[in-house]
Amino acid sequence: MALALPARCDPNLLSVALRGSCPSSHWKDAIAPLLVGGMAQSMSFLNAGANKGFAVAEFLARFHRQDCGPNGCMLAWYNNITDIKKNTMLACGYCNDCRSGMPRSQHRVPVRIHAFELLAGNQKLLQLLFQRLHVPGEVHAVALSNSTGTLWAPLITRTGQENVAASTEPLKQHLSIPTTSIDAYASRAGLQQLDWVTLDAEGWDGLIIRGGAHMLRNRRIGILEFEYSAKSWVSREPVRAQAMIAMVRELLSWLTEVGYTCFWQSGRRPKAPSPAATTSTPSTTLRHPNLGRAIPMAVAQQEGRLVHVRDVLACNWTFATRHAGAFGNAVCAHAPPIVAALQALAAR
């Protein structure tokens, strides 16, 4: 079933969709009880672009652990990061993840973590964190893509560094790393189901999704999260921004055809300006407390809301993604109860 094109563009929805930046986790609280109630005896989580592991820490806090201490699992994860390496870059996470607190919806079920990380320093950090905190899973020094083969990663990086992508060419001061696909890894590991897949692969997300085509066609991935920015979407061939936008539209249409319903996530609510900072003229932006820059008021007022991907297909995405820091985060699901819960957040 193809995506239906809306008659006109709603610019507020477009801002929420493609400039949400650091996403809100409200929707995760809404679907967690449904996901746990309809699953088997354990849950699997695959994270590509795991970096310092905050997505792993959040998943554990929501579905596996409730004994992280008085300050919560995210801050405990941060404390271990800084204990292992004090000068870790962005140790609290790009979006101040370590301050996000405990999830509102918490469950305790067996889990298995499959973390993939490109950069050597981050790989070592993750391995030490998994050992220290007894994380049930593995850290793979492997890049995910749409096929098996070889990519190249920078040789010299700082531990904790983000926004670094793999290269398809053997550049200077780069080292080769093996690549695999979700389908190939799942087959080799004997995984019949991946309950949750989170991608933050600095533009490689689309290719990684294509590498999970078999799992997706057979609806063996429960929840799929990925990031999109027109300035960094990667293809095997050099393309212009308009072609990148066409690629993500095509990907979303394909996900719909194989049975998934996708939504853009809104960003976290920034703090309201202090009374002393207000003026008689209403502002159209607020300062984001984590990113330190202004974001559209439309985004600020709709924390926790989702936007169905079909609702912004009529919009000019090039304009929406022109800002250097603009990126959106999508979530896709196929199970009717999960989709209904996500749709309810989109209808608010």
Give the burial string for 83-118 (b: 16+ CB within 10 Å, else e).
eebeebebbbbbbbbbebebbebebeeebbbbbbbb
Q: How far apart are CA 163 and CA 90, in angstroms?
A: 11
Alpha helical stretches, state H, 116-240: 120-132, 182-189, 205-210, 213-217
Q: How far apart are CA 33 and CA 343, in angstroms?
A: 16
Query: Within a domain: residue 6?
Result: no
Domain count, the chain: 1
Q: Which residue has the tokens 């049930």?
A: 136
Query: Within a domain: residue 64?
Result: yes
Backbone phi, psi, residue 173, to 5°: 55, 35
Query: Within a domain: residue 4?
Result: no
The DSSP secondary-structure symbol of 112 reads E
Q: What is the pLDDT of residue 321?
A: 52
Say whether 73 sits in a helix, a strand or coil.
helix
Query: Within a domain: residue 2?
Result: no
The enclosing H or E element of 299 equals: helix 297-300
**Pairing, β 261-265 against β 285-287:** unpaired
Q: What is the pLDDT of residue 269?
A: 55
Query: Within a domain: residue 228?
Result: yes
Query: Within a domain: residue 198?
Result: yes
For 317, the domain range is 11-346
Q: What is the pLDDT of residue 283?
A: 40
Closest CA to 58 of 27, 89, 88, 34: 27
228 forms bridges with which residues in the sheet? 328
Let me know if 271 is exposed, middle or buried by CB neighbors in 10 A (0-12, 13-18, 19+): exposed
44 forms bridges with which residues in the sheet? 112
Are 93 and 47 a contacting pair, CB within 8 Å? Answer: no
pLDDT tens string, the chain, 348 residues long: the values are 556 556 677 877 877 776 677 888 889 999 999 988 765 578 999 999 999 999 999 999 999 976 777 678 899 999 999 999 999 999 999 889 999 888 888 889 999 999 999 999 999 999 999 999 999 999 999 999 999 999 999 888 999 998 888 888 888 889 999 999 999 999 999 999 999 999 998 888 999 999 999 999 999 999 999 988 766 665 545 555 566 677 888 899 999 999 999 999 987 754 333 333 333 333 444 333 333 344 343 433 456 689 998 888 777 766 555 554 567 899 999 999 999 999 999 876
CA atoms within 13 A on the CB side of 278: 6
Say whether 110 sits in a helix, a strand or coil.
coil
**What is this structure's pTM?**
0.86
CATH number, domain with residue 179: 3.40.50.150
Q: Which residue has the tokens 């933050």?
A: 200
Q: What is the pLDDT of residue 291?
A: 36
Query: Within a domain: residue 1?
Result: no
Query: Within a domain: residue 244?
Result: yes
Q: How far apart are CA 171 and CA 239, in angstroms?
A: 19
Q: What is the pLDDT of residue 300?
A: 38
Say whether 83 sits in a helix, a strand or coil.
helix
